Structure 1
Amino acid sequence: MASTDSATPPPPQPVETSIPIENSRQVAMLVTSALSMIVPTILVTLRFWAGHKIRRRLDASDACILMALIFTIGLHVDMYVMVLLGGFGFHGTDIVQRFGMDTLVLFLKGILAFPIIWNVTICFSKLSVLFMYASVIPVRRMILACRAVGLFIILWNMGGVLGALLLCRPIALNWDKTRTDGTCGDNRLFYIWLGIINVIVEAVILLMPVPFIYNLQMKIFKKVVVIGLFSIGWMTCAVTIYRQATLPHLYFEDMTYTGVLATIFTGIEPSIALSLACVPFLRPLLRRGNKLMSTGHDSQYASAGSTLRSRQGLSSRPFKELNDDSSETQLQPLGPDSLKYEAEVSNQGPRQPVNTSGGAIVVNKQWNVVTGTRGD
């Protein structure tokens, strides 16, 4: 008597031993993944180089951005594995017929790891921005806001990791679709809500520094420039929103073919967020060229000032607008949270003999701080 298992046809034997690159979907994924690794790596390197130029000490923001870069590279290595070894870009039935069932299983394991790595990457990149905010705008309200949003991000991304692992129970059901002893949740709904929360959190993070920058005492043009510098992260929101528009068209039973576009934009999103988080730190590299160009111009004022004589009137002296020598790392808005110092000074000390044989007038003053208070 024949067993019941003999009625089930055996899986087809693979016809091809290697996966060729033969369609535009595969090329698009490989190219975008390469760029998504190269560009953030360059910008993170420039960020650390700029910090070295101004001798800026490394902080938690730098540690988070480095971790985000590592996981971003891991995310796109996973995509390479899915394309080159898992048949990503072909129909699922074609993968089984041409490359064997093991190839499809490898892809399904890779697509399971993808949202897990994505959540960790997004978490570190957003935390890096929040640590930057707390360092650049060190006032109590901003620090408390960063802590609250940071805690939510950690909990949300931990939930995303657990959701990806527990969506199918047992976990082997993610890649072994022949099992009948488990259940799977709604994959599409899971990814849609994950993306919606991501857009909301991104918008909150981008709007957080605006009120503080608005209260800074600086020219309107400079305020607009600073706000624009912090607002370039809206590009990440645009990518996320477009990615969300592709999710309703996913057919998870043929994820290897229909999930290409959504996966591409899911991989691009943290790379853009990571790259844009480095832009505010590149200012020392941009200002270096301006300083070199203005060296000769400034020396004219130095030489002119040294040749002034006492007979020259005040109106004939050359003046130039002072360069912005504000801190490279901190913005200090005036308000109830800012620190203010008051001091009284007195002019003390004996007069020093003055040699006026050269025809110049020399004024010698000494100042001593006699009292000091810190304002509330």
Structure 2
Amino acid sequence: MTGVSKDGENAIIIVYVLTTVATICAAMRFKIRWHGQLGADDYLLAFSLVLIWLQAVGNTLLAVKGGMGRPMATLSEGEIEWLFKMFYAPEIGYTLLTGVLKLSILLSYKRIFGHMRKILVYIHVLMGLAAGWLVSCLFVIIFQCWPIHKVWKPLTPGGCIDLLAFLWATSVSNFIIDWLILSVPLIPIWKLQMTPIKKVFVAGSFALGSIACITSTVRAAVTGTIDVTDMSKSVFMASIWTYIEPTVAIVSACLPFFSKFFTEKVRNIGTKGRSMGNKYSKNGSDFEKGEGHITKKTTTTVSGESRGVRNQHELVNYSVRVGATPDGHLRLHSDSSTSLV
């Protein structure tokens, strides 16, 4: 890509791959829950998909027009302005995105575990924390400078907060809430009676949930690596982890619903196998299972040889069919025929 640094190219590839994977997972979840089962958590997840694609566009602009990966001293005035704009807009998008995802996951937990009173109270507390975190962080980010346009025009008279300290505090509080949300299903999951295949997918979903929490922890750590004197050069790692965290969270929010999809597939395969095995032969008898009846046909063949001529006679074929009458009683049907081969 002309004018794009190696860090910029890598960022674009990573972000779009992760965004595509998250979108596919969300689409599969919507397909599973489409028939009258969509709830508020699904609508919030759909909204998060819109935000995550806007984030991907913002990342592209940061790499193409904002000079990501290039020394700040080499950037033009226009590129520096785009650099700060693409810090500002994705900060708002990231905060809104992670807050919406937290609420979506908690609403899913509420539907699944809401019948347990103590768990329901815990979920409501976490929803309050997540909503409070979202509103407060969003307000501070939007009004981090006065006037607002000083964010991307640093020479404008006015003032700004210590952005790096704020981002650090936001990241730390974010991953603490993430770990608290991850702890919600731990107690209820031990009490559930599930088939082994469901346990595998549930275990996988929680494992990936922990990965989402780990990414938020890593993001909190790499935030401190940003060099405020050379932001375009040092922003790559913090920017990438800012995009990795919500995409992994979306996949984590979708995975528990896949157990239903795969168990139905396994059940269908088993049903097909039984259907193919509905006709079989044993000791010269054919058994056929049909809609509402079972038929047994028995054939006896007598072979003989007289004056060098071999004869085969098929004796009476006796067929018994077992069916059901409209009033629910069983009825036997029999018939016979004779053939000569």
Match of 1:51 in 2: 33
Please identify runs of 4+ aligned residues in structure 1 that moved more than 4 A.
217-225, 299-307, 352-358
Q: Distance in 1 between matches of 2:19 and 2:196?
A: 37
Q: How many equivalent pairs are there?
A: 292
Q: In the alignment, does 2:241 pair up with 1:265?
A: yes
Q: Distance in 1 between matches of 2:257 and 2:159?
A: 48
Name whichever of 233-242 and 297-306 sits farther off: 297-306
Match of 2:142 in 1: 165
Name whichever of 165-174 and 269-278 sits farther off: 165-174
Match of 2:91 in 1: 115
Q: Distance in 1 between matches of 2:175 and 2:4?
A: 35
Offset of residue 222 of structure 1:
6.3
Offset of residue 104 of structure 1:
1.3
Match of 1:90 in 2: 70
Q: Look up the SS of the partner of 1:292 in the other structure.
A: helix
Q: Distance in 2 between matches of 1:356 and 1:26?
A: 76
Q: In the alignment, does 2:212 pair up with 1:230?
A: no
Structure 1 unaligned runs (5+)?
Answer: 1-18, 308-351, 359-376
Q: TM-score, length-normalised on structure 1?
A: 0.69
For residues 76-155 of structure 1, the aligned pairs below 5 Å read 76-96=56-76, 101-139=77-115, 140-155=117-132
Q: In the alignment, does 2:46 pair up with 1:70?
A: no
Identity among equivalent pairs (%) = 22
Offset of residue 153 of structure 1:
0.7
Contact 1:21/1:27 (8 A) holds in 2: no
Q: Distance in 1 between matches of 2:219 and 2:85?
A: 22
Offset of residue 48 of structure 1:
1.1
Change in 2 beyond 3 A, CA 1:177/1:287: same
Match of 1:275 in 2: 251
Q: Which amino acid aligns with 1:166?
A: F
Q: Which amino acid aligns with 1:212?
A: P
Contact 2:42/2:104 (8 A) holds in 1: yes
Q: In the alignment, does 2:191 pair up with 1:211?
A: no
Change in 2 beyond 3 A, CA 1:296/1:123: same
Offset of residue 243 of structure 1:
2.0
CA RMSD of aligned residues (A): 3.0
Q: Look up the SS of the partner of 1:251 in the other structure.
A: coil
Change in 2 beyond 3 A, CA 1:45/1:223: closer
Offset of residue 228 of structure 1:
4.3
Change in 2 beyond 3 A, CA 1:353/1:182: closer
Q: In the alignment, does 2:277 pair up with 1:295?
A: no
Offset of residue 356 of structure 1:
9.2
Contact 1:213/1:223 (8 A) holds in 2: no
Q: Distance in 1 between matches of 2:184 and 2:159?
A: 41
Contact 2:212/2:249 (8 A) holds in 1: yes
> Which structure carries more relative contact order (alpha carbon 8 Å, separation 6+)?
1
Q: Which amino acid aligns with 2:140?
A: G
Q: Look up the SS of the partner of 2:69 in the other structure.
A: coil
Structure 2 unaligned runs (5+)?
Answer: 280-286, 295-326, 334-341
Higher strand share: 2
Q: Distance in 1 between matches of 2:124 and 2:31?
A: 28
Q: Distance in 2 between matches of 1:221 and 1:152?
A: 34
Q: Distance in 2 between matches of 1:297 and 1:231?
A: 33
Q: How big is each residue's C-alpha offset from its partner over 1:20-43, in whole Å with a ceiling of 9 and x where there is no partner?
A: 344310111111121132111111
Q: Look up the SS of the partner of 2:67 in the other structure.
A: coil
Q: TM-score, length-normalised on structure 2?
A: 0.76
Q: Which amino acid aligns with 1:153?
A: A
Change in 2 beyond 3 A, CA 1:49/1:354: closer
Offset of residue 175 of structure 1:
2.0
Change in 2 beyond 3 A, CA 1:218/1:301: farther
